């Protein structure tokens, strides 16, 4: 897979995640807030563990995997920040 093709796929994943999370925020604030807290933590943890494992022993995992995991950490937070900025609401989980 060429470097240009990797970035095209990464942009596609980013835009797909933006659409999914933004629609989730528009449909249900509570569920979107919970997903926004859980998904970056899970993906970040997996990314750190995979990065450490990759440093210890080189594998054939594509660079795209690490890019997509990084995007999955950042995108929910960016979408939540944009949603609250546009809607003018403070962030709160009323559980």
Structural domain boundaries enclosing 33: 3-87
Is 70 inside a domain boundary? yes
Bin 88: left if φ > 0, else alpha if -120 < ψ < 50, else beta. Answer: left
**pLDDT tens series, the chain, 95 aa:** 677 789 999 999 999 999 999 999 999 988 999 999 999 999 999 999 999 999 999 988 889 999 999 999 999 999 999 998 888 877 665 54
Is 16 inside a domain boundary? yes
Is 68 inside a domain boundary? yes
In this prediction the pTM is 0.84
Domains held by the chain: number: 1
Is 30 inside a domain boundary? yes
Is 73 inside a domain boundary? yes
Number of Cβ atoms within 10 Å of the Cβ of 85? 9
Distance between CA atoms of residues 77 and 39, nearest Å: 10
Is 27 inside a domain boundary? yes
């Amino acid at each position: 897979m060429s470097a240009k093709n990797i970035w095209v796929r990464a942009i596609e994943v980013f835009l797909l995640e933006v659409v999914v999370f933004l629609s989730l925020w528009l449909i249900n604030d509570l569920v979107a807030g919970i997903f926004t807290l859980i998904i970056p933590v899970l993906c970040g943890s997996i990314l750190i563990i995979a990065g450490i494992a990759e440093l210890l022993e080189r594998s054939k995992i594509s660079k795209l995997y690490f890019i997509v995991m990084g995007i999955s950490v950042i995108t929910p937070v960016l979408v939540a920040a944009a949603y609250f900025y546009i809607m003018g609401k403070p962030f709160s989980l009323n559980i």
